[in-house]
Amino acid sequence: MMLSDRVQSVSASATIAITTRAKQLQAEGVDVVSFAAGEPDFDTPECIKAAAKAALDAGDTKYNPRTSRALLDAIAAKLAAENGLSVGADQIVVTFGGKHALYDAFQATINPGDKVLIPSPYWVSYPEMVKLAGGEPVFLPASAEAGFKITPEQVLSAASGAKVLLLNSPSNPTGVTYTRQELWAIAQAVLKTELMVFSDEIYEKLTYGDAVATCFASLDPAVAERTLTINGLAKTFSMTGWRLGWAAGPKDVIAAMRKVMSHETTNPVSFAQAGALAAYTDPRATEAAVAMRAEFEKRGLHMVDRLDAIDGVTCVKPTGAFYCFPDVSSHYGRSIGGAEVTDSLSFAAAALDQANVALVPGVAFGEDKCVRLTFATSMAQIDKGIDRIEKLLK
Ligand SMILES: Cc1ncc(COP(=O)(O)O)c(C=O)c1O
C-alpha cells in the first residue's frame, strides 16, 4: 500500500515502543525493571471510578453533545480558583487526553510550512504532531548547563516567521519547572512578536521542593489572549487509561478544535466524563492527588541521589513531573558487557539487554547525551533498577 508522505515523515513514539518491549519481556517471564512509561503506578482514586460506574449504570452510554456542561463548568472553576484564569465554557474543549488536545490544536492552527518553536529537550510527540499538521518544528536548544530552560532572547531571535511557541513546565523529559519570573520574561518577549503560545501544563500538580507551576496564560490578560493552555487528568489523578484532557484559550481556536473533533472522535467517552467531573469536584480525589504527589517527591529525590552517586552520571535535579534525565555520555565510547556503547540508543539497549532495565534514550527527546528514567514506580523498583545500572556501568 502507498502510505502518505505526511505519515512517512514521522517516527513512531519511542517511549511507547520501549514500554511495549519491556512489557513483552515481562510477559515472557523476564524480571524487567521499567523506568520507561510516563505513567503513575497508582490506581485511579475510588471516588472517580465510582462516578464513572454510576454513569454507566444510569445509561450514560450514548453520543452526547461533545462535553457535559457540568464538566466544562468544573474546569472553568478550577482555572479560576487555582490558576487565576477567567474563561467561559466556550473557551474550553475536552479531548481524549492532553495528547489529543495538542494534536487538534496544531490541526486547527498550522498551515503547511508554518514554524513551531519547540524548546529542546522536548516531549517526543511535539515535533511529530507539528509535522502531521504540515508544520515545521524549529528547536530552541536548552542544555543541562542552562538548567534545560530557554531564554527570552532565544524566543526573540527565532520568532520571525514562526507561528507558535510551545512551552512545557514542569517538563517531560527534564523534570524542570520554570519559575514565575522566568515565564514572565518569556511572556514579555512573546508580546513583542506575533507568536501564539501552547502551554502544556499537564504536570502542573507535580512540583517538588520550592517549585510552583505557573499557568502561563494567567501572567497577563494580553498573554491570555494568545495562549492555549493544555492540561489533562492522566498524570494528576492517575487516569492515563481514561484518555481525558482539555484545552482552554481563545474562543476561535477552541471552536476550530471542536470542529476538527466533530469529524474525528465526536464527544469524549460519556461515562469517563462523569469520572473527570468527580476528579475536579470531589475532595477525596484532591486528597488522593496530594498523597500521590508527596510519594513522587520522595521517590524523585531518592532516584536523583542514587543516579548522582554513579560514576560518570550527572543529573539536573527534577523540580516537577516524574522524570530524571541524567547525562550518561561519559560512558559513550566504552564497551559495556561486550557491547559498544556510543550513544543514548546503544546505552539504553545495553541497559535492557544486559541489566533488564528499560530506559528511554535521550535522542528521542532531542538530547543524545541523556537517558530518561521515570520515578512513577515504587521505591523498591527504583532501588532494584539503579542497583542493576550501577553494577552494569562498573
Ligand atoms: C508533556 C506531556 N504532554 C502531554 C501528555 C499527554 O498526556 P495524556 O494524553 O495522557 O493526557 C504527556 C504524556 O506523557 C506528556 O508527557
Summarize pLDDT for 325-367 with one digit per residue, the tens.
999 999 999 998 888 999 999 999 999 999 999 999 999 999 9
Q: How far is CA 39 from the centre of its chain?
A: 10
| 7: pLDDT strictly greater than 90 | no
Query: 232: Cβ below 6 Å to ligand 1?
Result: yes
User: Which H or E run includes 50?
Assistant: helix 46-57
State whether the beta carbon of 121 lies less than 6 angstroms from ligand 1. no
**Signed CA dihedral, 82, 247, 37, 110: sign only:** negative
Report the candidate in 286, 229, 293, 288 with the shortest Cα–Cα distance to residue 95: 229
Is residue 187 within 8 A of residue 223, CB to CB? The reply is yes
Report CA(99)–ligand 1 centroid distance (Å). 5
Query: Is the C-beta atom of 320 inside 6 A of ligand 1?
Result: no
Ligand 1 closest atom vs CA 102: 4
Q: What is the helix (H) or strand (E) element at residue 379, kind and residue range?
A: helix 379-393
For residue 1, name the pLDDT band (cuts at 50, 70, 90). Answer: confident
User: What's the confidence (pLDDT) of residue 66?
Assistant: 73
Share of the chain above pLDDT 70, in %: 100
34: nearest Cα among 389, 329, 330: 389
384 pLDDT tier (thresholds 50, 70, 90):
very high
Per-residue confidence band for 285, with pLDDT thresholds at 50, 70 and 90: very high
What span, in angstroms and rounded, lies between the C-alpha atoms of 67 and 70? 8
Residue written as grid cell 494568545: 226
pLDDT digits (tens, 9 = 90+) for 37-86: 889 999 999 999 999 999 999 999 998 877 899 999 999 999 999 999 99
Place of cell 466556550: 90
Residue 170 has pLDDT above 80, yes or no: yes
> How far does the centroid of ligand 1 lie from the alpha carbon of residue 127, in Å?
14
Distance CA 108, CA 196 (A): 13
The residue contributing the CA closest to ligand 1 atom 7 is 98
- Provide the 3-class DSSP secondary structure of residue 94: strand
What pLDDT digit, counting tens, does each position of 186-214 carry? 999 999 999 999 999 999 999 999 999 99
Atom of ligand 1 nearest to the CA of 244: 11
User: For residue 284, which phi and psi values (nearest 5 degrees)?
Assistant: -70, -30
> Crossing angle for the helix pair 46-57 and 283-308, nearest 10 degrees?
130
Q: Which of 58, 71, 60, 62 is nearest to 279 (CA)?
A: 71
Residue 184 half-sphere exposure toward CB, CA atoms < 13 A: 5
Please tell me the distance from the alpha carbon of residue 177 to that of residue 322, in angstroms, as a whole number.
12
Type of residue found at 343: D
Burial class (CB in 10 A: 0-12, 13-18, 19+), 391: exposed
Please say whether the beta carbons of 340 and 316 come within 8 A. no
Q: Give 105 Cα–ligand 1 centroid separation in angstroms.
A: 14
Q: How confident is the model at residue 23 (pLDDT cuts 50, 70, 90)?
A: confident
Which atom of ligand 1 has the smallest separation from the CA of 321? 16
Distance from chain centroid for Cα 225: 23
* 213 three-class SS: coil
Q: Are 45 and 290 in contact (CB under 8 A)?
A: no
CA of 233 to the centre of ligand 1 (A): 10
pLDDT for 191: 98
- CA of 311 from ligand 1 middle (Å) equals 32
Hey, which of 129, 130, 235 would you mutate to test ligand 1's pocket, going by the most ligand atoms within 8 Å of its Cβ? 235
From the CA of 202, how far away is ligand 1's center (Å)? 6
Mean pLDDT of 380-384: 97
Most ligand 1 atoms within 8 A of CB, residue of 99, 129, 231 to mutate: 99
245-265 pLDDT, tens per residue?
Answer: 999 999 999 999 999 999 999
Backbone angles phi, psi at 11, to 5 degrees: -100, 155
d(CA 339, CA 146) in angstroms, rounded, equals: 32
Cα 189 to ligand 1 centroid, rounded to whole Å:
26
